[in-house]
Amino acid sequence: MDPLSLGALVALATIIVLFSGISVAAGLLVVSAGFLILFDGLSSLQLMPEVFFGKLDNFALLSIPMFIIMGAAIASTRAGADLYEALERWLTRVPGGLVVSNLGACALFSAMSGSSPATCAAIGKMGIPEMRKRGYPDSVAAGSIAAGGTLGILIPPSVTMIVYGIATETSIGRLFLAGVVPGLMLVGLFMAWSLYSTWSSGDARVLRATTYSWREKVEILPRVLPFLAIILGVLYAMYGGIATPSETAAVGALLCLLIAMVIYRLWSPARIWDVLRDSTRESVMILFIIGAAGVFSYMLSSLYITQSIAEWIGGLDVNRWVLMGMINLFLLVAGFFLPPVAVILMAAPILLPIITSAGFDPIWFAVVLTINMEIGLISPPVGLNLYVINGIAPDIKLKTILVGSLPYVACMVVAILLLCLFPGLALWLPDLVMGAEL
């Protein structure tokens, strides 16, 4: 069979298997094994265990469970609520500043936890009821938190960036730095839209500012500053040449656990066990997908599908930006149905040779890909963050949450366009800190 036709058949089979409800990792293994047996014979299965475990034989993978523990320790405490209260007290003088403080809290909590659902849950439990009480429309209250939660996969430390770095063999340090400026830009776009929509409403309840004394502003800081110090410490250790990403992740996880114990009295063995149990489950799930995606990539390469697709696209007589538009559309649709880790691990081996041959930087592309995945987190039919918000505030209809998140989807599209026009937004900081790549 022609490799391109075979590739289409593999894609169709993969979609059918994944939509059957089977887990992503198991589905990839089933498809890979099926096509290897069909076209290479039973003997080809002998290499599957070697490929699977070989994909996991990477020291950088240690950073994934460590960063997950770091986020789980924070998510198990009142850190999100304290962060929200601190920003509210400092930003409340701004008319409509409550929604801005929610977005700021989402950005900071994302940097600490690296998890979009955890960010939505932690900030949403405090922020949504408070915004509704003060007169903000349900769509603004729910939509802003759903969108703010997506920042968890872009602002470092990001598990998604680690997975991309491993899948494409690019520098995780550069990827983390590449997400900083676009992440801040996205926060700025979110805040700009939120302020505009708030001010244009003309609602006196929303525009009225609550006053806090200096004592009330300062007394909340000791609960927040230690966690922010950990973020800065992790980044400094990583980029100051003191430690590798895996080592800094381990230190960050330990410090987060200690701070959770000291500040938030996380002494109960049962609660500590819950943190470690949940972290282990999520880590194993991600590592299982990584191993299965390695087998899937091996199958595509063994059947010459990856190379044929790259050659076919490379032979298309189209402008490279048209090609990038097609890739973005593909990523957007894939993000509607699959989690970011699965999309990256399945698509990266195919897309990397295509984008590099077209003259695009793989570090820059990582940011564009991640923002596409963010859109998927607040878009149906999967839209994980939408369901998290609906679980927090079940009396807000899913349609209302979706409508409230649509302006933020537009902000993400604007961010992708700005990155296409000004690639330096993603590449300037990595080149400044780590030197330009030759």
Helix 340-357, helix 305-314: angle, nearest 10: 50
pLDDT of residue 43: 83
Short-list 138, 136, 149, CA closest to 190: 149
pLDDT digits (tens, 9 = 90+) for 360-416: 999 999 999 999 988 988 887 667 788 888 888 888 888 888 888 889 999 999 999
pLDDT of residue 96: 62
Short-list 381, 282, 385, 390, CA closest to 341: 282
The token pair at 20 is: 């059957």
How large is the average pLDDT for residues 240-267? Answer: 80
Q: How far apart are CA 182 and CA 421, in angstroms?
A: 13
pTM: 0.81
Domain-wise residue ranges, the chain: 59-283+305-434
The token pair at 326 is: 């097609």
pLDDT digits (tens, 9 = 90+) for 273-288: 888 888 888 888 888 8
pLDDT digits (tens, 9 = 90+) for 8-56: 888 888 888 877 878 888 888 998 899 988 888 888 888 888 888 888 8
Confidence category of residue 208, pLDDT binned at 50, 70, 90: low
pLDDT of residue 410: 92
pLDDT digits (tens, 9 = 90+) for 258-278: 888 888 887 888 888 888 888
The DSSP output letter for 422 is -
pLDDT of residue 416: 94
Q: How far apart are CA 84 and CA 207, in angstroms?
A: 19
| DSSP calls for 96-108 | THHHHHHHHHHHH
Tally Cβ neighbours within 10 Å of residue 216: 11
Its sign, for the CA torsion 335, 408, 229, 87, is negative
Q: How far apart are CA 165 and CA 150, in angstroms?
A: 19
Q: Is the pLDDT of residue 117 over 90?
A: no
